[in-house]
Structure 1
Amino acid sequence: MTKDNPLGYEPLPQLLKKFAVPSIIAMLVSSLYNIVDQIFIGQGVGYLGNAATNVAYPLTTICMAIALLIGIGSASRFSLYLGAGEKEKAARVVGNAFLMMLVGGIAYTVLVELFLRILLTAFGATPDVMPYAESYTRITALGMPLLIVTNGMSNLARADGSPKYSMVCMLLGAVINTILDPVFIFVFGWGVAGAAWATVIGQFFSFLAAVQYLGRFQHVQLRREMFRLSPQESIRIASLGMSSSLNQLAITLVQIVLNNSLTYYGAASEYGTDIPLAASGIVMKTNAILLAVIIGISQGSQPIVGFNYGARQYDRVRGIYKLAVSCCVAVGSVGFVLFEFFPTQIISIFGTGDALYFEFAVKFMRIFLMMIFINGVQMISSNFFAAIGKPVKGMVLSLTRQVLFLIPLLLILPLRWGMDGILFSGPVADFAAFVTTVLLIRHEMKHIRALEEAQKA
């Protein structure tokens, strides 16, 4: 199997470039759905429109959590089976995963539509922001099943050795969304609803392209009887995708706590409630662009790690992990320079505001993202554990930064330092998560070296 599949013998830098670059582009494109909406809404509607998309953003991250639960989990099982030479089992993983995507997407849309106002209130919507947020989300919720299938199938296509196809799927929708956004917002005058419809239409065309890959798998042959929803297989898929999914859910939980903390402490400050809400949305979505690159590297390394671990080529497993981490630290360092030295220029892209708005947004970006250069280590490592079939460790690691450290700090530090306590909770949590990651990875690498030595003996 290692001779038949380039994952087992091609040079690691060449492989990572081949798989990570299309994955990075696909993730950037996915992030651009929200960024493009934010830019055009900021220019056409104003900062209340930006605040509305910020309030609605947790629903998108929950949707992405479902997509990663199924997509990363099924891609990990698919890679492990391919590495072990079990193509029939790999094919059944695909069929089961596709049905999971459809069922999960439809169920999520129904729940969002039924409980939308309750959810938006919980996410921090103020009375002024609520009409914009509800108008935007009623429409974007319709595209949630499309987004889940597209992202899930993109992970499987990448694991099958077709990273460029997954990139094209995402790129198609983003281009359509970018073209339609200014037309619907400025020409038709639809405001936030126009941005929402542009997003859904773009997602529909990405969905069509993703579904077509079911007939194009290179390493397995799909038959009708393989499209069955097995509870046992679904649980196994979910277990391997849990760490990536929990990381997204944790981001959602952080967003909810952050939004409510900003409005609460903002009301007692000179900034008021809406300025911190709008500014944090821009900062978090700008950071999402950098995280998209890091996640792209992580996803690009996943099939390489999974295949070689399944094939017991442990030296290649260690090598690809070190290479991926090095790339993420380099990317994070670039982000650090941009966020610390050019925050005003970045924030200005998303529309205008008064002096207080820019003052808070610049301060938020510089302090909250201070430790961005080490964030990628934790994300790469949690996905690494899932790729080698150890979902519990990946799950624990994915929860460290967001749930174990950041949320408690967001609740505790402001009691003493007010708004500044909210801002400094970010870098403190980042550093604590980094130290935890180093300890867990050192232990796992010792275990992998022991397996390697035992194999040689």
Structure 2
Amino acid sequence: MTTNNQSSKDVDQRISMVTGEPKRAIRVLAMPMIISMFLIMAYNLADSIWVAGLGPNALAALGFINPLFMIVIGLGNGLGAGAMSLIARCIGAQNKKGADNAAMHSLLLTIVVSAGVTVVLLVFLKPILLLMGAGVTVDLAMQYGQIVFGGLIFFMFSNVASGILRAEGDVNRPMYAIAATTILNVILDPIFIYYFGWGVSGAAWATILSSSISCVVLIYWLLLKRDTYVSFSGKDFKASWNVVKNILMVALPASVESLVMSILGIILNFMLVITGGAEAVAVYTAGWRVVMMAMIPPIGIGTAAITVGGAAYGARKYKNLSTALSYSAKLGVGIALVTATLTYVFAGSIATIFTYSPQSAFMAPSIAAFLQVMFLFFITVPLGITASSIFQAMGKGFTSLILTVLREVVFVAFFAYLFAFTLGFGSSGVWWGIVVGGGLGCAVAYTWATIYVRRLKRNY
């Protein structure tokens, strides 16, 4: 009885925190999310670091798989964001049954979507890679991709299950699951890649085996231990297209956002192949992993804003919604200034992480130069992330998608082409296109979100 009472008390405290003062809620929720995302990035970074020792072709092979992998992760993140947004809005509206039904629908959608995507990718993987320009690296990319995409349900389920927990303010347990997964992957990578001699296939098997651990732990917490706000009971499940639609109204645009960014990655890889060959792709692949590390704090803050903003929107507390928007942006930019400065100063040292072997040592100066150009990109990206998160929190996923397309396709792709080819800057022009286009797109997105939320406050 004591255990049950304590669990109920913990749930009540989490719900009160999510629906309470926005600034405190964002700080409390963001930190475990940031830690979780650092662990996820370390999980992915381990593959690049260990595979880099196999030479630039192996690292470039991961670069060609990465955009496709981000599509898969984007689908899981999209479904997780859809579940998180709807559950948080139900919590704000004090609709417990609605939250339960949303959680059950999201898990069923995950199973269906992951099965379909797995089949498509395994059948068409090689033609897609050749179309992307993989060329001499296609066999290595196939070795890695077939294994990773064969187990994509693990990635998608983990994202959705974590989103369900985060919607009710439980951000610690997803972090614990990811920590166990990351540690196992870091341990298994060198064993599978070098000790067993499996090469890039070893990196893929380490990723799949370790990611399955997260699923097992999350299944136990959600379906067996049952100490969460949302509950999973067959008798309470009511199939509803309206619930599915509400999830997909955020999930589909969020997933397409990842698809758009992956398409941009493919476009940038094409430009890099033309301007600098496989070496330019390898430099971008290694450097972008570091950029993604720097983007984790604003992404974590934005994820917290989905929960807090969703609860505020569900309760029609638009002042709290406005606070969530402005505070998240300020906090994200403040942290970004610090990480940007550190990255700029220590770019050379960071580059050596990817160039420790004789085969890859020659790339160190180019990776360092890439990181120093990205300095300015770090500072503006929190504005775009925060704007997208707030629109997702309100269930306005298609607005978030429009902003992403504007930023990635209209601005980044245009300026990358302009600087790389029209102005003749080559590979470094692609880098500057990311900085200038991304900065403009993020500024437009944040301005749009600010105007929208102000109108809600004024009209309510």
TM-score (norm 2): 0.91
TM-fit CA distance, 1:239: 1.0
Instruction: Please tell me whether the aligned partners of residues 2 and 311 of structure 1 are also in contact (alpha carbons under 8 angstroms).
Output: no
Instruction: Please tell me whether the aligned partners of residues 2 and 9 of structure 1 are also in contact (alpha carbons under 8 angstroms).
Output: no
- Structure 2: tracts of 5 or more residues without a match: 1-10
Cα 1:171–1:76 change in 2 (3 A) is same
Whether 2:304 is the aligned partner of 1:275: answer no
Cα 1:4–1:58 change in 2 (3 A) is closer
Q: Which amino acid aligns with 1:178?
A: V
Whether 2:92 is the aligned partner of 1:80: answer no
For residues 438 and 18 of structure 2, what CA distance do their matches in structure 1 show?
Answer: 34
- Structure 1: tracts of 5 or more residues without a match: 267-272
Cα 1:404–1:231 change in 2 (3 A) is farther
TM-fit CA distance, 1:151: 0.6
For residues 19 and 340 of structure 2, what CA distance do their matches in structure 1 show?
Answer: 35
For residues 448 and 122 of structure 2, what CA distance do their matches in structure 1 show?
Answer: 41
Instruction: Please tell me whether the aligned partners of residues 74 and 93 of structure 1 are also in contact (alpha carbons under 8 angstroms).
Output: yes
Q: What do the CA deviations read for 1:28-60 (whole angstroms, capped 9, x no partner)?
A: 2222222000011113x1222211111110121
Q: Report the secondary structure of 1:371's partner residue.
A: helix
| Equivalent runs, 1:159-174 vs 2, <5 Å | 159-174=167-182
Q: Which amino acid aligns with 1:377?
A: L
Matched with 1:370 is 376
Q: Which amino acid aligns with 1:62?
A: I
Q: Which amino acid aligns with 1:233?
A: V
Matched with 1:64 is 73
Q: What do the CA deviations read for 1:177-236 (whole angstroms, capped 9, x no partner)?
A: 111111112221211111111100011111111222333253233211455765443232
Matched with 2:16 is 6
Instruction: Please tell me whether the aligned partners of residues 257 and 410 of structure 1 are also in contact (alpha carbons under 8 angstroms).
Output: no
Instruction: Please tell me whether the aligned partners of residues 350 and 368 of structure 2 are also in contact (alpha carbons under 8 angstroms).
Output: no
TM-fit CA distance, 1:4: 9.2
Cα 1:412–1:217 change in 2 (3 A) is farther
Identity %: 23
Q: Which amino acid aligns with 2:343?
A: F
1:244 corresponds, among 246, 251, 254, to 254
Matched with 2:349 is 345
TM-fit CA distance, 1:246: 3.1
Matched with 2:442 is 434
Instruction: Please tell me whether the aligned partners of residues 56 and 137 of structure 1 are also in contact (alpha carbons under 8 angstroms).
Output: yes
2:451 corresponds, among 443, 446, 450, to 443
For residues 175 and 393 of structure 2, what CA distance do their matches in structure 1 show?
Answer: 21
Instruction: Please tell me whether the aligned partners of residues 279 and 361 of structure 1 are also in contact (alpha carbons under 8 angstroms).
Output: yes
Matched with 2:7 is none
Q: Report the secondary structure of 1:255's partner residue.
A: helix
Instruction: Please tell me whether the aligned partners of residues 301 and 332 of structure 2 are also in contact (alpha carbons under 8 angstroms).
Output: yes
Q: Which amino acid aligns with 2:164?
A: L
Q: Report the secondary structure of 1:161's partner residue.
A: coil
Cα 1:19–1:415 change in 2 (3 A) is same
For residues 26 and 410 of structure 2, what CA distance do their matches in structure 1 show?
Answer: 31
Whether 2:274 is the aligned partner of 1:264: answer yes
RMSD of aligned Cα (Å)? 2.2
For residues 199 and 176 of structure 1, what CA distance do their matches in structure 2 show?
Answer: 9
Q: What do the CA deviations read for 1:62-84 (whole angstroms, capped 9, x no partner)?
A: 01111122110111011111111
TM-fit CA distance, 1:368: 4.3
Q: What do the CA deviations read for 1:1-39 (whole angstroms, capped 9, x no partner)?
A: 999931366443432232111111222222222200001
Instruction: Please tell me whether the aligned partners of residues 170 and 206 of structure 1 are also in contact (alpha carbons under 8 angstroms).
Output: yes
For residues 101 and 3 of structure 1, what CA distance do their matches in structure 2 show?
Answer: 29
Matched with 1:326 is 330
Q: Report the secondary structure of 2:354's partner residue.
A: coil
Matched with 1:195 is 203
Matched with 1:119 is 128
For residues 292 and 13 of structure 2, what CA distance do their matches in structure 1 show?
Answer: 38
Q: Which amino acid aligns with 2:317?
A: Q
2:406 corresponds, among 393, 400, 407, to 400
For residues 198 and 90 of structure 1, what CA distance do their matches in structure 2 show?
Answer: 35
Cα 1:384–1:346 change in 2 (3 A) is same
For residues 55 and 4 of structure 1, what CA distance do their matches in structure 2 show?
Answer: 41
Matched with 1:357 is 363
Cα 1:415–1:293 change in 2 (3 A) is same
Q: Report the secondary structure of 1:349's partner residue.
A: helix
Instruction: Please tell me whether the aligned partners of residues 69 and 245 of structure 1 are also in contact (alpha carbons under 8 angstroms).
Output: yes
Matched with 2:146 is 138
Matched with 2:61 is 52
Instruction: Please tell me whether the aligned partners of residues 250 and 397 of structure 2 are also in contact (alpha carbons under 8 angstroms).
Output: yes
Q: Report the secondary structure of 2:30's partner residue.
A: helix
Q: Which amino acid aligns with 1:139?
A: I
Q: Report the secondary structure of 1:219's partner residue.
A: coil
Aligned residues: 444
Which stretch has the larger CA shift, 315-324 or 8-17? 8-17
For residues 400 and 227 of structure 2, what CA distance do their matches in structure 1 show?
Answer: 28
For residues 424 and 317 of structure 1, what CA distance do their matches in structure 2 show?
Answer: 34
1:253 corresponds, among 263, 267, 271, to 263
Whether 2:423 is the aligned partner of 1:414: answer no
Instruction: Please tell me whether the aligned partners of residues 309 and 321 of structure 2 are also in contact (alpha carbons under 8 angstroms).
Output: yes
Q: What do the CA deviations read for 1:278-330 (whole angstroms, capped 9, x no partner)?
A: 00001111111122222111112211111122112222222222221112102
Q: Which amino acid aligns with 2:94?
A: G
Cα 1:194–1:342 change in 2 (3 A) is same
For residues 298 and 4 of structure 1, what CA distance do their matches in structure 2 show?
Answer: 18
For residues 281 and 229 of structure 1, what CA distance do their matches in structure 2 show?
Answer: 43
For residues 405 and 235 of structure 2, what CA distance do their matches in structure 1 show?
Answer: 37
Instruction: Please tell me whether the aligned partners of residues 41 and 292 of structure 2 are also in contact (alpha carbons under 8 angstroms).
Output: yes
Which stretch has the larger CA shift, 182-191 or 405-414? 405-414
For residues 150 and 225 of structure 1, what CA distance do their matches in structure 2 show?
Answer: 25
Which stretch has the larger CA shift, 428-437 or 58-67? 428-437
TM-score (norm 1): 0.91
Instruction: Please tell me whether the aligned partners of residues 102 and 145 of structure 1 are also in contact (alpha carbons under 8 angstroms).
Output: yes
Which stretch has the larger CA shift, 338-347 or 56-65? 338-347
Instruction: Please tell me whether the aligned partners of residues 160 and 217 of structure 1 are also in contact (alpha carbons under 8 angstroms).
Output: no
